[in-house]
Amino acid sequence: MTASEKNRPTAPVAMTIAGSDCSAGAGMQADLKTFQHFGIHCLTAVTCIVSETANIVRRVDPVHPDMMEDQIRLMLDSFPLSVVKTGMLGSADHVRKVASIFREHPEIRLVVDPVMVASTGASLLEPDAIATYRSELLPLAFVITPNLPEAETLLGETIPDLAAMESAVRKLSETYGCSVLLKGGHLSDAACTDLLLHSGKLHSFTSPRLDTPASHGTGCTLAAAIAAGLALGKSLTDAVAVAKDYLDHCLGSSYSFTSPAGESIHALNQGTFRV
């Protein structure tokens, strides 16, 4: 390495393992914009290609698990990675491959967003993959970021209110041996409260419920922002706080488009775009 190469600037590095959303509102496109906002060099490994907008999921084609694995292993061999975020994995084979890889790399902190259902209600995870998440991937996570429907699926019980959320976040953390950010946006309360259980301490993050239809990609964006905070050296609690503020900004400055057919398509204001 030459002296000039030693003096060149660098940037923190993180990776997202996720699906590709052609409308650029969720999936790895949302992750890329979010990581870029925080000054992180974001690597990607594609798990599936999704033909979708915020209003419809029309087709999902998985990438072969071996191809996904090769992307991940090449990035691990080529870059100084300490944080990886997983999003839509799609199938049990994909989940199993990811778990097998990172079982070899316990030094890497995994931010696992257990994506199961799109905001449109379309399923994004094969039913047999849930058991593989439970047995193989979630126990490797540094933090998991389920929303209420995902937590209900993982626990096999309903979570109707804030008191049930507190019980659920403790059960999830105890079951999988990791920190848990349980997102409460699906409750009908006037404010949105998320609960983080980390190192045995419960932290509550509450923000006003914003009057916006732009919900597509919120889970991806929040988890990516948390991973970015960790890559920047923040504690998990601080990373979640910053990520929550960032998501509130994205929601509060969301915008919309009108399709040629006259349909409204709403989008989060991710990254550095301003309107």
CATH superfamily membership of 12-147+209-267: Ribokinase (3.40.1190.20)
Compute the distance between CA of residue 218 and CA of residue 119 in angstroms, rounded to an integer.
9
The mean per-residue pLDDT over the stretch 92-100 comes to: 97
- Using alpha carbons, list the distances in angstroms from residue 25 to 116, 138, 157, 255, 268: 17, 25, 30, 12, 7
Residue with tokens 């047995």: 135
pLDDT score recorded for residue 71: 98
Long-range contacts of 55-60 (CB under 8 A, 24+ apart): 55/120, 55/263, 55/265, 56/120, 56/122, 57/118, 57/120, 57/122, 57/124, 60/19, 60/90, 60/124
DSSP single-letter state for residue 147: B
Question: What torsion do the CA atoms of 116, 37, 73, 113 make, to the nearest 10 degrees?
Answer: -20
> In this structure, what token pair is assigned to residue 237?
């609690």
pLDDT tens per residue, range 201-238: 999 998 888 778 878 999 999 999 999 999 999 999 99
Degrees (nearest 5) of the Cα angle 98, 60, 112?
Answer: 30
Proportion of the chain above pLDDT 90, given as a percent:
79
Q: How confident is the model at residue 273 (pLDDT cuts 50, 70, 90)?
A: low
Whether 16 shows a pLDDT value over 80: the answer reads yes
- Classify burial at 195, counting beta carbons within 10 Å of its beta carbon; exposed 0-12, middle 13-18, buried 19 or more: buried
pTM of the predicted structure, to 2 decimals: 0.94
Q: Where are the beta strands (DSSP E) in the chain?
A: 13-21, 41-52, 57-62, 83-86, 109-112, 143-144, 179-182, 191-198, 201-208, 255-258, 264-267
Under 8 Å between Cβ of 125 and 115: yes
Lowest average pLDDT, out of 180-189, 228-237, 240-249, 252-261, goes to: 180-189
More confidently predicted of 103 and 270: 103
Task: Give Cα 4 distance to the centre of its chain.
Answer: 37
Which residues are CB-contacts of 29 (< 8 A; sequence separation ≥ 6)?
20, 21
Whether 170 shows a pLDDT value over 90: the answer reads yes
What's the sign of the alpha-carbon dihedral 120, 123, 125, 131? positive
- Classify burial at 145, counting beta carbons within 10 Å of its beta carbon; exposed 0-12, middle 13-18, buried 19 or more: buried
pLDDT score recorded for residue 275: 39
Under 8 Å between Cβ of 120 and 55: yes
Neighbours of 20 (CB within 10 A): 20
> In this structure, what token pair is assigned to residue 216?
């597509």
SS3 call for 142:
coil
Average pLDDT, whole number, for the chain?
A: 92
Whether 196 shows a pLDDT value over 90: the answer reads yes
SS3 call for 193:
strand
pLDDT tens per residue, range 71-90: 999 999 999 999 999 999 98
pLDDT score recorded for residue 215: 85
In the chain, what are the domain boundaries?
A: 12-147+209-267
Q: How confident is the model at residue 2 (pLDDT cuts 50, 70, 90)?
A: low
pLDDT tens per residue, range 104-132: 999 999 999 999 877 767 777 888 899 99
